[in-house]
Amino acid sequence: MKIVLTHISPDFDAFASAYTALKLYDADYFVYTTGFDDAIKKFIRDYQLDIPLIHLNELDTSNIETIIITDCKIRERLGDAANLLSKAKKIIIYDHHPVSGRDIDADEEFIFNFGSTSTIITERIKIRGLKLDIATATLLLLGIYEDTGFLSFSNTTPRDLYASAFLLENGADISVLQIYLQRDLSKQHIFILNQLLQNLNVLRVASFSIGIAHASYDEYVPEVAVLANKILNLEGLDACLLLIRIEDRVLFVGRSKVDEIDVSKVAEGFKGGGHPYAASAVIKDMTLQESLEKLSYLIEENIKPIKFAMDFMTSPVKYIDVDSKFEEALDIFMKYNLNGMPVVKDGKTVGLISRKDILQGMKHGLKNEKVSSIMQTEFFTVKPDTPFSVVEDIILEKRQKLVPVEEDGRLVGVITRTDFLRAMAELNKTPKYILGRISSIDSKRFRNVKHLMKDRLPGKIYNILVEIGVLADQVGMNAYVVGGFVRDLIMKIENFDIDIVVEGDAVVLAKKFAKLKNAKVSVHYKFKTAVVILPDNFRIDFATARSEYYDFPAAAPKVEDSSIKIDLYRRDFTINTIAIKLNKEDFGALVDYFGAQSDIRDRKIRVLHNLSFVDDPSRIFRAIRFAVRYNFDIGPHTERLLKHAINLKLIDRIVGQRLFLEIKYILCEKEYLKALNMMKNYGILKFFSNSINFSEESLEIFKFLDKLINWYSVQINRNIEIWIPRFNLLFHSLKRGEFIKLLERFEFNSNYKKYFASQVFKSRNAAIRLKKNKNITNSYIYNTLKDLEDEFVLYLSAILGEKFENLIKKYYTYIKEIKLEINGNDLKDLGYKPSEKFKYVLDKLLELKLDGVILNKGDEIKYAKKLFEEIESGRNSGN
């Protein structure tokens, strides 16, 4: 685990350098001990920074690999977090303070006498050639400007200016610095501030207050824009518009705290500029009085009455009752040409449904199912007086297509995307995502992970991906590595199973790559897929980007060529809908359309659409498998859909081989017992048999089995099919006929079914015989177990229990190791002719040796002769 620390009560320089180090090193957490000041909190809110913050008290300190410390090199300044230093294998320090007083030893250090730590870390970004998003560039610029007094303090160095220029080139917004950085006021500032407060008028627009003020001063005064923030805070305003005459010109300064008031529109009227929250203009051709008159006009033109949900919602609203059937919902959708509807119970919205889901459900023959079975239950609602900006966040950022409007717990309207766009047009408003307000979110969804790939992947794997990207460019296609490989890379789990998706024809790219690597290639032309097997037997799967649709539940999907976005949409869970582009220009670009990173961070298993389990019920098992493998939770809505698919008995429709593979994969998981317990709680085990007994008692037997398997893997050092003893134990309570019927359900072929059943029932019978026998000899143990494969011996051991544990261990460590020193050739040398008697004699000799009757080769020869004599005398007496 990698974590980032900075000093207690961090300023902008400490926070900016820590936040950037988090991204630079792909760290897991930003650990804090004290809170942040209001300006930093405001920046986090305004730029919607997605930071994995964790308080020191909540951190699991057992697995800290690396600590990155910024803006600090003294233990005391870290507060209680200093106790973490002894737990880390590696410490990295970034700091700009003088070296004196340092008491933290580091493995790597970047300590320079610059004006700010943000300068140091900006240089590291530049050296590594990384791209910065607007939020990070602006934050680093804030760090530099704060610690250098807007580049005016004596500690400012040329490197601080170079870093600032680099950040500006990369999108840093210098106009917002005054919003977050406060400076002491001069006498001139205070004089002007008093005038502004005396002349202040407050304009009410809906629930927002806008301060309008003016002042004059005959001499030049720098940085008067800082007064706008002072007035905002002193008067508790939502926005303020200032006109200040300085010498022979008038300055306009606008500041806003809310989305609804865009001060840049006013500044443009004075031929100035800025952004919605901070803007300014220098007015050279007007007097102060003329500027005030124009300001009134610009306010009237550009600051419109605020829209609330009630102003643009659709009402009365078409909805459907929670107990209605698919067929009824479809009638309403078609009659009123709707794409989505609220689902209502007793007047309150309890879910959302889409026409697409209903049509798909009807196609699967679910016309009599209740809409509640697939309705979306995780959604946002608003009230009639909710401001436009809140609705904007829900529709644009949270991607909810239909927003119910409720008053006193009852549905009174809905806001569709069409309603929203119409309101936006009436407000003459530019969507926030165009202004870059959520650029930080987009940078998360589409960030570059090239350096993460280089750090975590073996050179061979990394080079393969680079080569595929180069070849994709040559054939004019886009290539992506997708799915579990990318998911586990992000989660820092080793997984080198490479799946390539190609926008184009994967077969063409696979053949070209195989030729380059002198590898074998196997092609499936119907589905445009291929497998390339390298000379060292490493395999890479290629698939053409495709869409899928299902004719009926659990059917094999029909496929069509498509784009990477649609290809990712067809996957089972959001955590698997993630890809990395491999083409040279965009190599390492992470593609995340469906919130995979968010769900990985939140540790959630979530389906992409409401009929996911209906389309493919085997996803029920995969949801459980991923949940226990990664210790994730199945999201509430996904769990509800999973339970409904179980209630519809869709598991019965899963093809036998597929069903077997899913249970096999689960039994191979490290936390398979958790998975079996989930299956029991969901009522899944009954689909295999009503006779399955998965109780607390059987749980202890499973744990004993795992103990034996662990012992076996260490002592015997042989790989086994771990699922087999677990499978046999799970279905131990099934009688012979029922067990064979289960194997038939799993579509075992005739030979394997016969072999598997034979081994199982030989194991059960052997356990019975061993329990009954009061005088168990080594030869009896050997003869009882010799025909069983090791997987079945371990199964037998589990059902025998701990009382027989030493017997089984003795079988592997002693009994199986005893061998005869003579063989058939020795018997021939003694003058005996080869016949079936040889086997009898050799088997008998081994039993005698196992039981300690004979000890060496001489004994073996002696007893061999004796046995032949007994055979011969027996034959003669029989005559």
Read off the CATH number of the domain in which 572 is found. 3.30.460.10
What is residue 285's DSSP assignment? S
Is residue 439 scored above 50 in pLDDT? no
Compute the half-sphere exposure of residue 791: CA atoms within 13 Å on the CB side of its CA.
14
Is residue 431 scored above 70 in pLDDT? no
Angle at 658 between CA 655 and CA 663, to 5 degrees: 125
Pairing of strands 604-605, 348-354: unpaired
- Banded model confidence at residue 167, pLDDT cuts 50, 70, 90: very high
Which pLDDT does position 96 carry in this prediction?
A: 83
Residues 230 and 118 in one domain: no
Residues 153 and 284 in one domain: no
Residues 396 and 346 in one domain: yes
Return the axis-axis angle of helices 117-127 and 12-24, rounded to nearest 10°: 20
- Banded model confidence at residue 831, pLDDT cuts 50, 70, 90: confident
Residues 494 and 566 in one domain: yes
Is residue 639 scored above 60 in pLDDT? yes
Residues 495 and 546 in one domain: yes
Residues 703 and 764 in one domain: yes
**135 within 8 A of 439, measured Cβ to Cβ:** yes
Residues 357 and 287 in one domain: no
Which pLDDT does position 665 carry in this prediction?
A: 96
Read off the CATH number of the domain in which 118 is found. 3.90.1640.10
Residues 79 and 190 in one domain: no
Read off the CATH number of the domain in which 765 is found. 1.10.3090.10
Residue 221 maps to a domain: yes
Distant-in-sequence contacts of 731-738, Cβ < 8 A, 24+ apart: 731/688, 731/689, 731/692, 732/693, 732/698, 732/764, 732/799, 733/689, 733/691, 733/692, 733/693, 734/689, 734/691, 734/692, 735/691, 736/761, 738/689, 738/691
What's the whole-number mean pLDDT along residues 664-673? Answer: 95
Distance CA 547, CA 557 (A): 9
pLDDT in tens, 111-164: 888 889 999 999 999 888 888 999 999 999 999 998 787 887 656 889 999 999
pLDDT in tens, 534-560: 999 999 999 999 865 545 555 555 555
Report yes or no on whether pTM surpasses 0.85: no
Which pLDDT does position 181 carry in this prediction?
A: 81
Which pLDDT does position 869 carry in this prediction?
A: 84
Residues 853 and 715 in one domain: no
Distance CA 327, CA 315 (A): 24
Count other C-beta atoms under 10 Å from residue 770's C-beta.
18
Instruction: Single out the residue of 595, 598, 589 nearest to residue 568, CA to CA.
Output: 595
What DSSP string describes 659-686?
Answer: HHHHHHHHHTSTTHHHHHHHHHHHT-GG
Read off the CATH number of the domain in which 256 is found. 3.10.310.30
Residue located via tokens 């029991």? 680
Boundary-marking domain end, from 802, 817, 832: 817
Residues 507 and 533 in one domain: yes
What's the whole-number mean pLDDT along residues 307-330? Answer: 90
Boundary-marking domain end, from 437, 462, 493: 437
Residue 338 maps to a domain: yes
Residue 846 maps to a domain: yes
Is residue 568 scored above 80 in pLDDT? yes
Which pLDDT does position 109 carry in this prediction?
A: 86
pLDDT in tens, 491-527: 989 999 999 999 999 999 999 999 999 999 999 988 8
Which pLDDT does position 723 carry in this prediction?
A: 96
Count other C-beta atoms under 10 Å from residue 338's C-beta.
19
Percent of the chain with pLDDT over 70: 92
Residues 483 and 580 in one domain: yes
Which of 419-428, 506-515, 691-700 is most confident?
506-515
The residue that leads in pLDDT, 547 or 823, is: 823
The residue that leads in pLDDT, 765 or 223, is: 765
Domain containing residue 528:
438-586
Which pLDDT does position 611 carry in this prediction?
A: 87
**What is the total count of domains within the chain?**
6
Which pLDDT does position 271 carry in this prediction?
A: 81
Residue 37 maps to a domain: yes
pLDDT in tens, 4-30: 999 877 888 999 999 999 999 999 999
**250 within 8 A of 268, measured Cβ to Cβ:** no
Read off the CATH number of the domain in which 327 is found. 3.10.580.10
The residue that leads in pLDDT, 38 or 324, is: 324
Lowest mean pLDDT among 438-447, 476-485, 640-649: 438-447
Residue 145 maps to a domain: yes
- Banded model confidence at residue 627, pLDDT cuts 50, 70, 90: very high
Percent of the chain with pLDDT over 90: 52
Which pLDDT does position 558 carry in this prediction?
A: 55
**409 phi-psi bin (left φ>0, alpha ψ -120 to 50, beta other):** left
Which pLDDT does position 526 carry in this prediction?
A: 82
Residue located via tokens 């004699």? 841
Distance CA 629, CA 633 (A): 11
Residue 391 maps to a domain: yes
Q: What is the mean pLDDT of the chain?
A: 87
Is residue 436 scored above 90 in pLDDT? no
Residue 443 CB partners (closer than 8 Å, separation 6+): 133, 135, 136
**3-class DSSP assignment, residue 757:** helix
In degrees rounded to 5, what are phi and psi of residue 455?
-70, -35
Which of 103-107, 256-260, 374-378, 578-582 is most confident?
578-582
Boundary-marking domain end, from 437, 462, 477: 437
- Banded model confidence at residue 440, pLDDT cuts 50, 70, 90: very low
Which pLDDT does position 448 carry in this prediction?
A: 81
Residue 638 maps to a domain: no
**247 within 8 A of 220, measured Cβ to Cβ:** yes
Residues 41 and 174 in one domain: yes
What is residue 187's DSSP assignment? H
Residue 652 maps to a domain: no
